[in-house]
Structure 1
Amino acid sequence: MNFQKKQKEDFDLNLTPLIDVVFLLLIFFMVTTTFDKETQLKIELPQAAGAQKQVKKMLEISIDAKGRFFVNQHEVVNSGLETIKKAIKQAAGDNKKPSLLISADGQATHQSVITILDAASQLGFVNITFAANEPQPKK
């Protein structure tokens, strides 16, 4: 009897799919993990022992959708540059170069804002701020 030895097949275990699954799990856990963010440093500030800080008077100039001007909630009769300058100067009073807040309606023309900026620059205002609404978060 002639028995032949069966050749043993080399058994290879393919690890590629296993490695792919491990990497996918790793990526999944990395993406879904939430981390705590430090929003601010926790420090103790020293107490001030000086005089109280004086609150600066801020002039507010509003422009509505129709192009009407309001200086500190009082409507300016004419929208001319000289009239606006007089109204701003009168509202400022003795205050040397107060801060200026411009709040224009979203439908107001750009020219009306430029007119206010021209009047403010001719009067020597350098601290000018624009008011804006914070956008609502999308739901």
Structure 2
Amino acid sequence: MAMGPLPSQRGRGRRAPMAEINVTPLVDVMLVLLIIFMITAPLLVTGVPVNLPDSRAGALDQDKQPLQISLDNEGRIFIDETEVQEAELATILAAKAPAEGAEGPPVFLRADRTLDYGHVMRVMGELNRAGLNKVSLVTTGAEQAQ
């Protein structure tokens, strides 16, 4: 790579413009963007902090966008990242329920490990009554199970 102007063919002292591109600034910017994305990507995974139980089950393959329901350690219910009162849960789930004969969206139920079993079962009962029967219970991965 030549670092200066190239001499012209005629030799009159005129110089031809340099036809090379310096890619060092481009590489620097791309590396900074890569680092930013590597730091922020894990933070975008879940919005509701839930202490999930351990399990040795493998991950599921999913084609459709799932409906995520989270129950935190205080018993609050979240649909995706929006908090919902337990009294409103039945009407919201009925609105998201599939038409008769159609297959509903998969539901990921994330419940805190310290939460009462009866509270989780009330939410699962509302899911069943709304016709959302493809429920997956989310746990931590097998590599963390003891």
Return the TM-score normalized by structure 2: 0.48
How far residue 96 of structure 1 moved from its aligned partner, in angstroms, is 4.7
* Residue 65 (structure 2) aligns with: 57
Higher relative contact order (CA 8 A, sep 6+): 2
Kindly provide the amino acid, as one letter, of the partner of residue 123 in structure 1: A
- In structure 1, what is the Cα distance between the partners aligned to 2:97 and 2:83? 15
**Is 1:113 matched with 2:120?**
yes
Give SS of 1:108's match: coil
Gaps of 5+ in 2: 1-61
Distance 1:64 1:87, change over 3 A: same
Structure 1 runs (4+) greater than 4 angstroms displaced = 91-96
Query: What is the root-mean-square deviation of aligned Cα atoms in Å?
Result: 2.5
The count of corresponding residues between Structure 1 and Structure 2 is 82
Does structure 1 conserve the Cα–Cα contact (< 8 Å) formed by 2:107 and 2:134? yes
Give SS of 2:70's match: strand
Return the TM-score normalized by structure 1: 0.51
Does structure 2 conserve the Cα–Cα contact (< 8 Å) formed by 1:71 and 1:91? no
Kindly provide the amino acid, as one letter, of the partner of residue 73 in structure 2: A
**Is 1:66 matched with 2:74?**
yes
Kindly provide the amino acid, as one letter, of the partner of residue 62 in structure 1: S
Distance 1:70 1:93, change over 3 A: farther
Task: Give percent identity, aligned residues only.
Answer: 22
* Residue 5 (structure 1) aligns with: none
* 1:87 aligned residue (86, 89, 92): 92
Kindly provide the amino acid, as one letter, of the partner of residue 132 in structure 1: T
Give SS of 2:136's match: strand
Bigger Rg, structure 1 or 2: 1
